[in-house]
């Protein structure tokens, strides 16, 4: 049996100071301009004196730029270089560009690819045009795993043990809202089992309807997940299930073929083969008995 990962407090190989420094960099979001030590402390749950030392160190290393007039900081080019280097080395992002663009033109929805960052999915590729009104997310944006179509598709692509661990983390984070969120995750699992895609109709954002499909590769990376979404008035639930979802499944399987060369896992222009999720009595089996 696979041993559970050690907690940072008991893992002698875990460098807590480095972890805290990275938490400071994570505190900056795409919509942020400048952040002060007090705001960073609130977002990281770290003491303000600790934040002051970390921001000083990150400034000296070139990862933060101080703005003395406002007593705040912004991400410096060295920090941005890390992100762009990561994007440049993600072959799936570049290879999927024409596929995403084509589906965007065919459906009028925004099409994105994302990867997990803690309890969120972070966009690292996005296709949208002036016609995809109402979907303002871009590269670097985050959506919650628990309630978004992309996040749910990712969740159901994980091995059982990893999915159970992630669901426990989501449960701890959501508190009293967990029963409703758990039911949505289970419905998504049933949809993946039956149709090959997950749905979120107003569950992440009341005005956004979307479908999500996971991409699993054999190179040790991922899984990644794609979504296709639009305002609710444009993508009804019936349209999601009967048209947008199947189109996204076909797109992802074609990307999988292009990346792996495994023609046996699907063929262009034909209905893709979808791996089923184990079900019991018409319901997706709960991964861990304690997650209720």
CATH at 34: 1.10.10.10
Judge if 136 and 173 occupy the same domain: yes
Using alpha carbons only, how large is the chain's radius of gyration in Å? Answer: 20
pLDDT score, position 136: 77
Judge if 258 and 227 occupy the same domain: yes
CATH of the domain at 188: 3.30.450.40
Domain endpoint, select from 81, 110, 133: 81
pLDDT score, position 291: 57
Judge if 66 and 117 occupy the same domain: no
Judge if 128 and 260 occupy the same domain: yes
> pTM of whole model > 0.85?
no
2: in domain:
no
Judge if 235 and 99 occupy the same domain: yes
Return d(Cα 182, Cα 177) in angstroms, integer. 9
DSSP 205: S
User: What is the SS3 assignment for 217?
Assistant: coil
269: in domain:
no
pLDDT score, position 161: 97
Judge if 97 and 232 occupy the same domain: yes
Judge if 259 and 183 occupy the same domain: yes
The number of helices, as runs of H, and strands, as runs of E, in the chain is: 10, 10
Look at the chain and report how many structural domains it folds into.
Answer: 2
Judge if 121 and 214 occupy the same domain: yes
Strand-pairing partners, residue 198, are: 212
Judge if 42 and 163 occupy the same domain: no
Instruction: Give the pLDDT means over successive 10-residue stretches in the chain (292 positions).
Output: 51 93 92 91 96 97 95 92 77 94 96 95 90 75 96 97 97 95 98 98 95 90 94 96 98 92 41 42 46 58
Judge if 95 and 77 occupy the same domain: no
Judge if 71 and 193 occupy the same domain: no
pLDDT score, position 265: 41
pLDDT score, position 9: 59
177: in domain:
yes
6: in domain:
no
Judge if 110 and 144 occupy the same domain: yes
pLDDT score, position 88: 66
272: in domain:
no
pLDDT score, position 266: 38
For residue 47, the number of C-alpha atoms closer than 13 Å in the C-beta half-sphere is 3
278: in domain:
no
Structural domain harbouring 76: 16-81
pLDDT score, position 268: 36
253: in domain:
yes
276: in domain:
no
Answer yes or no: are the C-beta atoms of 23 and 40 closer than 8 Å: no
């Amino acid at each position: 049996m696979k041993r559970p990962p050690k907690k940072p407090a008991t893992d002698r190989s875990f460098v807590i100071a480095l972890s805290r420094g990275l938490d400071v960099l994570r505190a900056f979001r795409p919509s942020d301009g400048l952040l002060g030590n007090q705001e960073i402390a609130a977002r990281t749950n770290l003491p303000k004196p600790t934040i002051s030392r970390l921001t000083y160190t990150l400034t000296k290393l070139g990862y933060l730029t101080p703005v003395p007039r406002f007593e705040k900081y912004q991400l410096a080019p060295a920090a941005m270089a890390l992100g762009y280097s990561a994007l440049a080395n993600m072959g799936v992002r570049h290879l999927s560009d024409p596929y995403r663009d084509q589906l965007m033109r065919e459906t009028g929805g925004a099409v994105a690819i994302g990867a997990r960052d803690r309890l969120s999915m972070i966009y690292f590729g996005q296709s949208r045009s002036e016609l995809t009104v109402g979907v303002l997310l871009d590269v670097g944006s985050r959506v919650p795993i628990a309630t978004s179509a992309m996040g749910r598709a990712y969740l159901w692509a994980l091995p059982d043990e990893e999915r159970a661990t992630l669901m426990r983390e989501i449960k701890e984070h959501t508190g009293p809202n967990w029963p409703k969120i758990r039911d949505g995750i289970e419905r998504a699992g049933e949809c993946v089992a039956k149709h090959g895609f997950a749905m979120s109709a107003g569950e992440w954002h009341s005005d956004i309807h979307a479908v999500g499909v996971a991409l699993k590769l054999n190179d040790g990376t991922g899984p990644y997940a794609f979504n296709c979404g639009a305002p609710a008035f444009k993508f009804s639930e019936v349209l999601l299930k009967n048209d947008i979802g199947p189109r996204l499944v076909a797109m992802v399987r074609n990307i999988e073929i292009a990346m792996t060369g495994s023609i046996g896992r699907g063929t262009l222009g034909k209905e893709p083969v979808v791996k089923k999720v184990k079900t019991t009595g018409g319901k997706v089996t709960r991964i861990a008995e304690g997650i209720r």
